[in-house]
Structures are given as C-alpha cells and as structure tokens.
Amino acid sequence: MSEILAEYFSALARLKAGFPERVEKSVQISKDAVSLEAGRKKGTIKKSRPIFRDLIVAIDAAAAEQSYHQRHTDQRPLLREEVAKYRELWEEALSREISLVNQLWRERREWALEKQALTGKKMSVIHSFQRQDSDVPE
C-alpha cells in the first residue's frame, strides 16, 4: 500500500473514531470528507482511479454504519418519551387496582359487622392473603 493511500485510510480511521484533525467532528463520512481529513483537496478520491477501489469500499461501509447509528440515536428521545408515557399509564392502572382492593376490604369489613349485628354471632372474615390492618375483624 502506498504512503498516500495509507494517509487516506488513516484519515478514514480518525473519522470513524470521531477524532478528526482537519474537519469538524460532526461531518458525514464521504469521499470528500476523507480527502479533506487526509490534507488533500475535495474530489481527489475518484472511482475512475483503480488505486482507490478498496478505499472507496471502506468509505461506503463506514458511511452506511454512521448513518445507521445516527438513525438509531435520533430515536432515543422519542423512545424515552414513549417509555415515560407507558410508565405513567401503568402507575395509574396500579393506583386504580390498589384503590379497588382497599374498597373491597372496606366492604368486607362492613359486611362482616352488619352480619354480626343482624345475627348476634361474631363473624370471622376469611382472608385470601395475609392482611396487616388491625381494624379488620377476625
């Protein structure tokens, strides 16, 4: 590999790593960007020159990878908003469920007290799970 081609590949590696020396960090990887990063003029990398065939393939692959990463990193804020929305919906549903369970326990307690008042017998409430409220008659 010639020294000039090595400079181009070195420039491409710096662009891929995100540490360019001569162009902006946010530049899109392209043949012109690699030329400028290598210290050459725009348009020096041409398809018509056989020496650049492997370099052009490497540039195209790096550009495709960069665009893939940009597409997916651009979606992160949207995905975070969606996650926050569904978390809020889940918490609201959980709150409703807890409210309904509390209402059920109050109704059971009232029913047991009412039944006890009508029959004169002490009624015990059958629990489906262990409850720690001390005001529930047993």
Give yes or no: residues 66 and 98 share one domain. no
pLDDT recorded at residue 122: 66
Q: Which domain covers residue 134, as residue numbers?
A: 78-138
Task: For residue 2, give both structure tokens.
Answer: 């010639």
User: In tens digits, what is the pLDDT along the chain, a chain of 138 residues?
Assistant: 588 889 999 999 999 988 998 998 888 899 999 999 999 999 999 999 988 999 999 999 999 888 877 776 767 788 889 999 999 999 999 999 999 999 999 999 999 888 888 887 765 656 555 555 554 554
- The residue among 33, 48, 74 that closes a domain is 74
Complete DSSP assignment for 60-129: HHHHHHHHHHHHHHHTHHHHHHHHHHHHHHHHHHHHHHHHHHHHHHHHHHHHHHHHHHHHSSPP-PPPSS
- Compute the distance between CA of residue 21 and CA of residue 37 in angstroms, rounded to an integer: 7
Give yes or no: residues 137 and 98 share one domain. yes
pLDDT recorded at residue 2: 83
pLDDT recorded at residue 129: 54
Q: What domain count does the chain have?
A: 2
Q: How many residues would you count in the chain?
A: 138
pLDDT recorded at residue 3: 87
Task: For residue 46, give both structure tokens.
Answer: 């041409």
What phi, psi does 47 have (nearest 5°)? -65, -25
- The residue among 40, 55, 74 that closes a domain is 74
Instruction: Give residues with Cβ within 8 angstroms of 137, minimum separation 6.
Output: 109, 112, 113, 116, 122, 123, 124, 125
pLDDT recorded at residue 100: 95
Give yes or no: residues 7 and 70 share one domain. yes
Instruction: Give residues with Cβ within 8 angstroms of 78, minimum separation 6.
Output: none
Local structure of 50: helix, strand or coil = helix
pLDDT recorded at residue 69: 75
pLDDT recorded at residue 54: 93
pLDDT recorded at residue 124: 62
User: Are 74 and 84 contacting, i.e. CB atoms less than 8 angstroms apart?
Assistant: no
pLDDT recorded at residue 138: 46
